[in-house]
Homo-oligomer: A and B are copies of this chain.
């Protein structure tokens, strides 16, 4: 067992990159201290190692069973949920007067990365609950909150998000689940939802489903969709559990990974309708759900980064111990074999994983700091800029770690060879778990369309402007650091090309939208690679400055590794963007022109 995400790495990101201590100056965090933040991370690490990681393989090999209309989940999952709740993580970021402890976003996210690295199948339950609770916190009435929200903070109740239906995945505007208003102001919900993670389990008293549905008579499309709170059990005024709601577990889906997370088909209203309560305004459901989804998207990026990091750490530790073969310079069979890590090609596999996993982790925690700043930064303009920048970056934060996390976990298996393909090691499970991330919370193609078709155009392109100027500021800083100026200049060129192709494709959208968006996924990929190159340049600046200050050897080695990884990314990875940018600029149309009957 490795240390999941290393303490050194989290400390580097939180303290050296993101200046966590500065948060204490903000009023919301006045009662906190570095010690509190550190203790929180320590608790998370201990729970993640002792209670989550310990049943990750077991949960994978014993997926939930459908028994008597209920999902029967491994008991260890409930114990982990209990420990997570008791440690206060479900409500850690809530206000004190809500029963929370006002923990900053980056501390919570860094803590979550440890749970994700340890056991994503179990951590999915609290992850979804935190998201559902946030929706209720923002849009729920005081009445609904007192009945349903408090229990989601203590762990008595879990939460889910119910969007997808058997016929509707990416096209949410077309969902068919509908709601009929009742005399008492509540609704009755009818329809079927699919791929609902955590849709049933046997370790919480209640489950609060956040359900998208169409109020009878609402207009077609996205503007006709509303958001409802639909509990598994109705809750009485005094907070006690009432009757069972008309929500039935119709079946469990069998997934390649996340096997300990129930993936359910839920039937709403098979009898006289499931009781549901409108959250927010009628027709505002999709917009409201996007608040949760945007948080969940940063979460998915972080999950991907954490799983990639765990695979990296596990394969690194194997490569340091396993002896195999000899180097070309001396193949004498009489000398002992070298370790895997002594082979340059194995170091390539490790270094690539390092750039992907550490780059993704830094990207996601940076995004979390934007999320923080948009809410608690003392300066208004800074709050606005953080919000604009986060909006533009969200598709990248969700998609880049997912795609490159899959490649990283693929490489982790390759380091081990045959052993990596067996369940003696966690790598094959990580590989299967990781594969969900480019799919859920918006498939990669959806995020390409979102980025090029919406995000870079929103507010007259102001989000993109903020991005360009923030990156330019970091490039300017890097230019002053010996050893980084060449790469800083290279990044500026990529940024220029990206800005230019963006203008071109945005202009083309008014004329020929489908052609302009035909290569949107490639655009997303190029945008992402350039973004992560910028993140690596930021990390290299921190490392170079730390090295200049003179350090003990182990810490100097840590920073040298960061510099080497940055160099690797700029030499081997970033130039691949060149082909993408060329095809984008040429509005290359081979896929666009391809006809169904030619396949």
State the A residues within 8 Å of B (CB).
164, 167-171, 173-174, 194-195, 220-222, 253-257, 263, 316, 320, 323-329, 332-334, 337, 341, 343-348, 350-351, 354, 406, 410, 413-414, 417-424, 428, 431-432, 435-436, 438-440, 443-445, 448-449, 453, 509, 513-514, 516-522, 554, 557-558, 560-561, 564, 567-568, 571-572, 575-576, 578-579, 582-583, 588, 590-599
Contact = CB atoms under 8 A, between A and B. Distances in A.
Contacts of A567: 590
Contact of A418 (B257, B413, B439, B522): B439
Contacts of A519: 344, 348
Contacts of A517: 328, 344
Given A327-B514, A576-B576, A571 B590 contact: yes
A509 B575 CA distance: 27
Contact of A324 (B170, B351, B509): B170
Contacts of A316: 599
19 contacts: A164-B418, A170-B324, A171-B324, A171-B326, A194-B418, A220-B333, A221-B332, A256-B432, A257-B421, A316-B599, A341-B596, A344-B591, A345-B445, A347-B594, A351-B591, A417-B443, A431-B435, A432-B432, A576-B579
B221 A333 contact: yes
Contacts of A351: 590-591, 594, 599
Contacts of A558: 598
Contacts of A572: 579, 583, 588, 590
A167 B336 CA distance: 13
Given A354-B599, A599-B561, A422 B328 contact: no
A256 B428 contact: yes
A347 B417 contact: no
A435 B411 CA distance: 11
A156 B596 CA distance: 47
A175 to B, nearest CB: 11
A169 B431 CA distance: 22
Contact of A597 (B346, B557, B578, B590): B557
Contacts of A575: 578-579, 582
Nearest to A221: B333
A17 B303 CA distance: 47
B513 A329 contact: yes
| Complex copy number for this chain | 2
Contact of A444 (B337, B414, B445, B568): B414
A595 to B, nearest CB: 8
Contacts of A554: 597
Contact of A453 (B328, B346, B560, B594): B328
Contact of A422 (B253, B514, B561): B253
Contacts of A593: 564
Contacts of A195: 418
Contacts of A167: 323
A374 to B, nearest CB: 29
B422 A254 contact: yes
B421 A436 contact: yes
A351 B440 CA distance: 23
Given A221-B334, A557-B597, 4 more contacts: A170-B325, A173-B333, A557-B598, A571-B590
User: Which among A257, A439, A599 has the highest number of chain B CB atoms within 10 Å?
Assistant: A599
Most chain B CB within a 10 A radius of its CB, from A582, A583, A595, A596: A596
Given A348-B591, A414-B443, A445-B345, A422 B325 contact: no
Which 10 pairs show the lowest CB-CB distances between chains A and B?
A221-B333, A561-B598, A328-B513, A344-B518, A348-B591, A256-B428, A171-B325, A220-B333, A345-B445, A575-B579
A345 B521 contact: yes
A435 B453 contact: no
Contacts of A422: 253-256, 263
Contact of A169 (B320, B324, B513, B522): B324
A523 to B, nearest CB: 11
A445 B343 contact: yes
B439 A417 contact: yes
Contact of A334 (B220, B255, B448, B590): B220
A579 B320 CA distance: 30
Given A347-B592, A439-B421, A588-B572, A333 B520 contact: no
Contacts of A174: 333, 337
A349 to B, nearest CB: 8
B328 A514 contact: yes
B431 A592 contact: no
Given A325-B171, A599-B354, A346 B418 contact: no
A167 to B, nearest CB: 8
B518 A345 contact: yes
